[in-house]
Amino acid sequence: MKKHSLKEWIMATRPWSFPASSMPVLVTLFYLNWIDCNVNWYIGIWAIINIMAFHAAGNTWSDYKDYKNGVDRDDTIGGISITSGQFKAEEIKYLAFIILATATLSGIMLVACTGLPTLYIGIAGFLLTIIYPWTKYHALGDLNIFLTYSLLPILGTSFATTEKIYLETLWISIPIGLITVGILHSNNIRDTEHDKRAGINTFAMLTGGNIASYIYCFEVLFPFLWIMICITIGVLPTWSILVLLALKPAMNSTRKALKYKQDGARTFIGIDEKTAQLQLVFSLLLTVSLIIAKYIHL
């Protein structure tokens, strides 16, 4: 069996996508801090690491299932760790199991330090990770991702770090969740023809490529409007206007997406990675705004 370097194993988990899982937790921590909650920062850092581990397990498990179900083949763009011949399918499966087992053990320890609500949220996240391939194949992948990488981690972080679920955190679940779903949605638009060949039915296929491209534009642009609404009604500080600095990369992606009618699905090549980068920048700017608003009073 071919030996792989540590870098190759790490790259097989698709680390470029980790902002989708880590940023919801990070923003939640600083939002809770802004509304004067007593945040346990050690638990917060632990939660970020743990959800990224679950994300890595989900990525590798999805790549394995996509390959086994004929979704990813030699001519597809996704799941290249297997289709390129770099890794055998069984290697990726075992990697997924090892990471999932490690993340689960860490999660159990986290529950022991926090409480049962963390367990319930963790079980929900675990199950959604395992069934993600099935939900993707039945046009439910977008909903799965919103729950797994927005709603659940935000509520889970709220309880784990403060011993109370603050429903106010749901205000930030909308913009962060939509951008995260945009990562998956753009990926699925790109892969429409290959997914059709495999006999699966993603949400992008259900709506049709042209409508799907408009939905993608909504997913990455509406979060900016949502932040402005939240500022207006006082659930986010005025400093959150800083997120508008991320509007340019969002517009760049939407301009490219709107070329779908002329260029077809190939126009979405690379947009998933750009959207993950947008998630990183948008969330970091929102985090910075919460820090400024907390400690700098003008």
- Angstrom distances, CA of residue 174 to CA of 181, 246, 272, 281, 285: 10, 17, 19, 16, 16
CB contact at 8 A, 223 and 174: yes
pLDDT tens by residue, 243-268: 999 999 999 999 999 998 888 888 88
Contact in structure between 293 and 33 (CB atoms under 8 Å): no
Mean pLDDT confidence for 57-79 = 78
Q: How confident is the model at residue 69 (pLDDT cuts 50, 70, 90)?
A: confident
Q: For residue 297, what pLDDT band results from cuts at 50, 70 and 90?
A: low
Burial (CB count within 10 angstroms: exposed 0-12, middle 13-18, buried 19+), residue 16 = middle
> What does the chain come to in residues?
298
Max mean pLDDT among 17-21, 52-56, 83-87 falls in: 52-56
Tell me the pTM. Answer: 0.90
| 67 confidence band (pLDDT: 50, 70, 90) | confident
Please give the pLDDT value at position 99: 94
